[in-house]
Structure formats: structure tokens, C-alpha cells
Chains A and B, each alone.
With several copies, the nearest count.
Chain A
Amino acid sequence: MNSVHDMGGMHGMGPIEYDKNEGAFHEPWEGRAWALISSAGAFSRGRRKNFRFELESIPAADYLRMSYYERLIKTMLDRLLAGKFITQAELDSGKPDPGSPRGTPPLTPAMVEDLFRRRGSLRRDDVRVPARFKNGQQVRARNINPVGHTRLPRYLRGKRGTVTHDHGVFNLQDTDAGGYPLGNSPQHVYTVRFDASEVWGPDGGKRDVIFADLWESYLDRA
């Protein structure tokens, strides 16, 4: 999806707002928001959309206006509403609907440590897939412009780089136009090095390089 979330190389976003002493949360409400998001993650019904697709689907003007946690809260509410875990009337009133059953929170304080420890790797060490590229090989990122989620940023499409590392086999994360996974497509993920002058032309730094981690199907032999 060529939405504004894919902002690598854009100008006009203003100065960096740097707070040298920012702690875990910039404001206390962000901690509550993040804890809610983590804690309510268990509530999901049916086929689940890619959560990055959900974030990227926020209309561009809103995406840029909202902070990180506001975007996450929005997608969480969308999911809770879609799964009928909450109703719009409840959101409007701030109170449970009359007669609605009271549940038992699935996540308890004792489970929090495990939540942090849980490894959610998408690497598929269980399958053997031959690698099409090897270190040092020249590749070119494909020029694709799908309406679904993809991890090939716009600014690298069509550019030539060099494979520097093979990270093994991972499931492709790309989705269809509705946000659902394109299918189980395990393939190698490579780190590819691009010269800034290849990516940005004469406006790129002469001694700057960019590395990105790219699924094999994003790449062609150069």
C-alpha cells in the first residue's frame, strides 16, 4: 500500500521533536494505552487482518495527525467492534450495555512476565527452501505497487543493491487488498545494501549507504 506510512525519503514532516530525557512513556496515559493494547490483544474473532495493514489503512491526514498510541488505540477499537466484543453504544456512553455479560480478564498479572518472554519469530526453521541469492550478489528491488500491505518501501523499488546477509526463511507478510495474508509463502529474507547515490541520485550522500531486509520475492537478479 503506497500510503503515507511508507514515508522513507519524504520531506516536509517538520523538525525532529527530541526529548533527551524521555522515559519508557512520554506521558503517563501512553503507558495505560500501551498496557490496554497489550492486554486486549487476546480479543479477536474470525480471520485476522494483518495489524500493520490496519494501521496503514488509517486515512493519510489522520495518520499524520495521530500519535503512535492513538493509532494503536484506534485499530484496537476497530477490532473490538468488528469482533462484537464491545458495541458502539458502549463506546458512546462509556458504560457496558444493560444486561451485557461480565467476562473474566484472560490476562492476569502473573502472566505478564511470560508475555514479555514470548518469542514470536516468523522464521520458518521447519522448512527447507533453497536460497536464490547469495552474499555479494547484485539484485534489483522489483517495481511493485500493491494495494495490500508490503514491506518493500517505495524508495527502494527499482533500485539496485548487493546482498550482504541471508537471514534464513520467513513467512511473507504481504497481504491482499483486504488486509488478509496472501498465503503461506516461506522464503529467504536478505539484507541488501544500497548506495545512497543509487537510491537518491545526485542528491544522495556520497558516503551514505542504506541497508534493508527484503523478502526474496521482492528481488530480481540485477
Chain B
Amino acid sequence: MLAHSGVGQAQEPRDRVQQAVPSDPALRVKALESLLVEKGMVNPATLDAIIETYETKVGPRNGARVVAHAWVDPAFKKRLLSDGTAAIAELGYGGSQGEHMVVLENSAKVHNLVVCTLCSCYPWPVLGLPPTWYKSAPYRSRAVIDPRGVLREFGLQLPDDVEVRVWDSTADVRYLVLPERPAGTEAMTEDQLAALVTRDSMVGVAKVTVAAGGTA
């Protein structure tokens, strides 16, 4: 009885609750989908098409192409910084949650970081859907009061003389960070450059490095 009554569980209330949820969200969502399909409210093929669009068409690779293009085309970069929405549309990107785009240029002296403290606003057409950490309370709460501490948690230690600019997406403007082009990339093609650009660097929680090109 004692072992089962779990005295020590008071130590880990979070874990306890997660274990205790009787049916996991995956099962509940599955049941909900089949109910709505049976009622003729949603079409499963439409659901597939929506998911496929986010997995293959709308995501941070779009933003990466915008960034790489700005790195190789100074005139485009100038247009991008003065009217983000129009310049991004030149590359074919736009739509919901990208109607009013502002692009923020990182440099050796200025580091921009984007957050939405009130919800999870994010520039979908260029970055896709936000990652879990962007939508979660730790990032939303601390990005505005301790941006340098938050960046350290992402592994980015900024020199004290860098100005940190935090952009809280409180209205309908959506922000994209234009990261610094890393040194040693002079010979790279635009496609090679785009492959270096991570989602995290376009939110402002990472820099672009030659080694670190990856899926994020």
C-alpha cells in the first residue's frame, strides 16, 4: 500500500500529472477526427493536404531562401529591409500571418530577437508553424525580461556591448530576423547559403554558422 500510495510523488508533480492523464492527446484527437469525419464536417483528405502543405511547402526553408537571396543581392536586401512584405512576395511567399512583414537585420553590434508574449504570433509564410519552445511559457515569459539569459539557454553568449532588441509581436506585424552572413561563405552559391540558414537564426535565438546548417 505504501509503495503504491507514492509518498515521493509530491516531489514531481509535473511528471505525476503527465502520467496520470487518462488518455493521451493523440488518442483524443484521433477520436475527435473520426467523429467529425462521420458527421460529414471534415474531409480526411483535406486534413492530409493541410499537413502536407506545412511539411513540404510552408516552412523555414522559405525564410532561408529569403535570407540567402538578401545575402547575395544587395538591392534585394535593401528592398527587404524597407518593405519586407513586398520583397518577400517577389520570391513567391505570402499569405496568412505574413500580411505585414518587417525584417530585422542582425549585425556585430545589434542582435534582434522575436517573441509573442501574449500568444504565439509567428510569420507562417516564411517560417511555417512555430516550434514548441516558441509557444511555451518559459520563452514567452522571459524573452522580454532576460533576453541574454534566454539566448544563453540556446547556447548563444552575446558580448556585453551588443545591443539586444526584443520584438514583442503584439499586433498584426510579423517579424523575420535577417541573420549575419557567416565568414568563409564567399564562394558559396545561393542554394548552398540557404542550406546554412536555420529557423532558429531567423527568430533570433541562434547565429548562422558554416558548421551548423541543419533542419532547424
Contact = CB atoms under 8 A, between A and B. Distances in A.
Given A9-B145, A11-B141, A107-B43, A91 B8 contact: yes
Given A39-B50, A91-B35, A119 B96 contact: yes
A39 B47 CA distance: 7
Contacts of A40: 36, 41-42
Nearest to B54: A24
A64 to B, nearest CB: 6
A151 B118 contact: yes
Interface residues of B, number: 94
Contacts of B11: 74, 77-78, 81, 88, 91
Contacts of A5: 118-119
A174 to B, nearest CB: 12
Contact of A74 (B13, B45, B140, B144): B13
A215 interface: yes
Interface stretch (A25-33, A131-139, A178-186): A25-33
Contacts of A2: 145
Nearest to B164: A208
Contacts of A24: 51, 54-55, 59, 128-129
A73 B172 contact: no
30 contacts: A8-B117, A8-B144, A8-B145, A13-B138, A16-B139, A17-B136, A22-B131, A22-B133, A24-B51, A29-B26, A36-B36, A38-B50, A40-B36, A77-B32, A86-B35, A88-B11, A90-B39, A94-B1, A94-B7, A94-B31, A95-B2, A96-B39, A105-B43, A109-B48, A112-B46, A116-B95, A151-B170, A209-B166, A212-B168, A213-B171
A88 B170 CA distance: 35
Given A21-B214, A112-B53, A189-B172, 18 more contacts: A10-B142, A11-B145, A20-B200, A33-B25, A59-B14, A74-B11, A86-B39, A93-B3, A94-B3, A107-B46, A109-B49, A118-B95, A119-B95, A121-B100, A153-B168, A155-B144, A208-B164, A210-B166
